[in-house]
Structure 1
Amino acid sequence: MVYKVFFLGFPLLPGEYRDVWTIESKISFRPGDGPVEADLTLPSELAGWVVLDEHFASSGFGFTVTQDETRRATWTRSELAEPATLYYKLQAYRQNPRELEQRDVPALAVPLLTADQRAAMLRLIEVLEAKSSDRTSFTQLLIRALDSRTTDPDGRFLLSTWDEDSGDVLLLTLALAEIPATALRGVRLEDGRRRQTLSTLLEIHDGERWQVFDPRTGQAGLPEDFFIWQRSEDAVLNVSGARNSRLEFALVSNSLPSRSVLAMEQRSGRYALLDFSIYALPVEQQGVFKGLLLIPVAALVVVIMRLLVGVKTSGTFMPILIAIAFIQTTLLLGLAIFLGLVAAGLWIRGWLSHMNLLLVSRISAVVIVVIFLMSALALTSYRLGLDQVLSVTFFPVIILAWTIERMSILWEEEGPHEVLVQGSGSLLVATLAYLAMSNRLASHLTFNFPELTLTLLGLILLLGKYTGYRLTELYRFRAMGDKP
């Protein structure tokens, strides 16, 4: 750690440093017939984004980068005998967030439509033009009319005639309404996300300037968590001579300053230590380890609360798994979902106890009940428009089932008071573990200095030798210290 900080220039604290995103695109395909050529559009610096560095992995392939209207990377090979994977990785940060640069308005193309499609579009355009005041309001109304839940008969007919998403229908309808529009493709930034595909925004010209809309919600403006990859309707990836091609993205964010990240990448070949760091892994695995390296922090919290404080929990490391779920759901919402699922599960488990089932069958039944409850909660919340509750899927099903089973047995043997004590203790430890894992300093240190986990191991080993009184026991036997 000292070597990294003082010799390689790694920042020790995450304060005043920029959030630098590492975005890795993975192109995979299977052998086909003839020579193989893969052509990938490379992103440009738009809307205030600055690309610090980029790397290409093309083992066994010829590789070139061409600059025309857009930059494109091309991999070539005379023949391919087995599946291949190509990588392109870039590091970027947003220096000064601003709107997209204005550009020329392209000539409108006449859309090719069937007679029924054209008639439906014209009726829909006529209705929406009567309800709108300008191109902006017309576009927002059109997005609602072509939503998957629309009740407009023409909108439902148009959606049924396309197998793809409604993006193509939007562009064709706007073209027929003589509104210049194009697709804006990019990546939605989510730390630790893997196997993500390109997302599409809608860009129209309102007569004076270009505006961006989210085709799912109709909201205007470029989202802050959107990295623009391509500003045209051309294909991002073209592969010939192969089959089953796929383009996926993995993302990870860190708080290193831009100069440190750039220096680290430039010196990765000079210092052997960096070859064995987390940064040497593919971005997809970096995102996984960014979460895994926080688990020892939560384990230390559990050890302190169990051995020094004396808090009772339902299961030794169940609070850690619940804390991991809280990171995905946020704390208050996660607590509400957990309490609701456990309460409903205990009530149903009480009915199962009258059937005198064997342990394996009973646990299996509880697992199925938990999955059913999670599905019912997700469907109900979606219908009510509470999209945040859909994060219920991040809760570990088996751990929830075992928690319900343990609490049910504890209720029968010790009574509701002991269930309340252990349940409250579990939620307290899970909350503290969540706060420790979501701390920015802890995330920064564990990711950039994974060797610090050995320090956590040493602390846990020292605490494992402690045999004195816990804080709760000192409070319990406080009367023994009173003087007569």
Structure 2
Amino acid sequence: MKKTHLYLLALLLSVVGVAAIGYKWKVLKFPLAPVAEVDVWTVQARVEYNPRRGPNTVTLQIPKRPPGFAVLDERFIANNYSRLEEERGSSREVQWAIRRARGTQALYYRATVVRASENPALGGRPKVGQPAILEEPYFTASASLLEDVRQGSADILTFAQELVRRMNAEQPAEQVALLLENRQDPEAKAELIAQLLSSREIPARIIHGFLLGESEGAMEIRPWLQVHNGTDWLTIDLRTAVDGWPENLFLWTTSSSPLLTVEDNPRAKVEFTVSRNLADAMAIAERRLEVQHEHLVKYSLLSLPLQTQQVYRVLLLVPIGAFIMLILRNLIGVKTYGTFMPVLVALAFRDTGVVAGVLLFISVVGSGLLVRFYLERLRLLLVPRLTAVLIVVVLLMALVSVISNQLDIEVGLSIALFPMVIMAMTIERMSIAWEERGASQALKEGVGTMLVAALAATAMTYDPLVHVVFVFPEVLLLILALTLMLGRYSGYRLTELFRFRALAREFGATEKRADDKSNAEPQDK
């Protein structure tokens, strides 16, 4: 296979891995840190009214997929009321009904919201609303005002902004003062601005919301103006005339209907309160994913039972340990017993700790090696010998655990988690290497095995790495790409450079003498 094919495959794996990680981090808001917190707001609407005799119906506009936020949970609190939710285009409402009610009634809508980036933008077909029906002298005042606004604007956006600025002037013009005689509250002023824009064939609508931030307690819901420029809906702050969608704006409703409607009860009121809390970013990300991408949850590790998730938190780290072993063996030249034996030993080090694990490894393997040399004199066959070594390993582990318990050393109790078969095979292979290649080579491979296992265990117990690999298993695609690239490396290892340094010095000296000789020959001639 050509190297080009290998490079393209590694590049493809890297691109897919990076894209998946970036999507989960930036779009789905999965945290990169194991301990992270995010802002969570609890938004509440409290409806209060005095019921009339007979049936009562209460209609409240409620949020529907607000841009920039995700509604994680909703609660409707209304005793003895029936509830009906209905969607109308980009808006939504809840209707409570009761046959008979006595005394002051209080109904609640409560929502838990967090920031989100994958919400649809506000749409809706642009439609010119009904212009205001004004009598004289209000009609003449509006016509004069709109003509002055037209002279000071260049397009639909600047026309609407200029109109808002004139309506909010500290010392308004005579036309503005006349039009605002009976429209001093923000709602009435917003409706007037929208009607004036409609009289110039400009699609305009009023939306309602409030800014979520550090402030808590009672909140005042505010109107915002939106105008359509032929392509998009543009948002304008009715207080400052600044255009653009505010980052913290939580959209409550886009409906042109009243925010609260209670039949034959004009004194009914609705109050809004907001409380801000900090919550675990990972738990919120999971809940947000369940709300916005239900199918992604079903086919992810997050859908598994908690016990299975804990298993995969360990299994997904095995390739990390194997990659560390690959670097140490193929690039540095550390010798070990077997290919994956150090990784399995590293799994045991996760529970005992690296330092205690190394000490336990040395004590068990050292004692087992002495027993193995003794069994060699008995001239046993391979399988009986391995079985005997396994039995001795188990007894040694039990002995260390008992002694540790008596000395109140809890780490020693974790020795039972060591893979017994791996320990037995390590003793067997070390004894064979001792006999065939000498004690020095056997000890080198033993030390190399402990070194690789210790480094792998350190990486596999590093909390940020454990979190990233479990939450973003696509990291393993990047590890796979690097493994494929290293698979073609056949150059010198780091230990070989030290091993052959004398030969390199001799080769360099020979080349230098040859160069000196070649430079001296022309002078002799």
Q: TM-score, normalised by structure 2?
A: 0.45
Q: Which has the larger radius of gyration?
A: 2
| TM-score scaled by length of structure 1 | 0.49
